[in-house]
Amino acid sequence: QSALTQPPSASGSPGQSVTISCTGTSSDVGGYNYVSWYQQHPGKAPKLMIYEVSKRPSGVPDRFSGSKSGNTASLTVSGLQAEDEADYYCSSYAGSNSCPYVFGTGTKVIVL
């Protein structure tokens, strides 16, 4: 299982949108609609932001949205706010007989 590929960083000004990609293979991202996204602020535990590609848990602002095309999933943060500055990780179900999940490499979102 190889880590999913994310860009190291992405940035935008307050109010703008930023989109983060998460590229895998047909064995993980492309094979299942089971991509989730986690936000992690420095020194804090990860927090679930998106599950099953595009669903938002209760309490997550609708500024966060997810999508998928082929082997690449994406997270879009619209109307960027200062508190959105954090690391973001995608994760996909991989259907393996070993640990069936794989994380992305992580993207730091910088609010300019």
Partner 1 sequence: EVQLVQSGAEVKQPGESLKVSCQGSGDSFTNYWVGWVRQMPGKGLEWIGLIYFADSGTRYSPSFQGHVTISADKSISTAFLQWSSLRASDTAMYYCASTMNGKTYFDYWGQGTLVTVSS
Q: Tell me which residues touch partner 1 (CB under 8 A).
A: 1, 3, 32, 34, 36, 38, 40, 45-48, 51-52, 57, 87, 89, 91, 93, 97-106
- Of 11 and 55, CB closest to partner 1: 55
Q: Beta strand 9-12 with 107-111: parallel, antiparallel or unpaired?
A: parallel
R_g over Cα of the chain: 13
**CB 99 → partner 1: shortest distance, Å?**
4
- Closest CB 64 distance from partner 1, rounded Å: 14
Nearer to partner 1, 30 or 100 (CB): 100
**Shortest CB 98 distance to partner 1, Å:** 6
Sign of the CA dihedral with 22 first, then 28, 29, and 33 last: negative
Structure-token match 């960027």, residue found? 80
Which residues neighbour 59 within 8 Å (Cβ) at sequence distance 6 or greater?
none
The pair of three-digit structure tokens given for residue 22, joined into one six-digit string: 């998460």
Pick between residue 24 and residue 106 the one whose CB is nearest to partner 1: 106
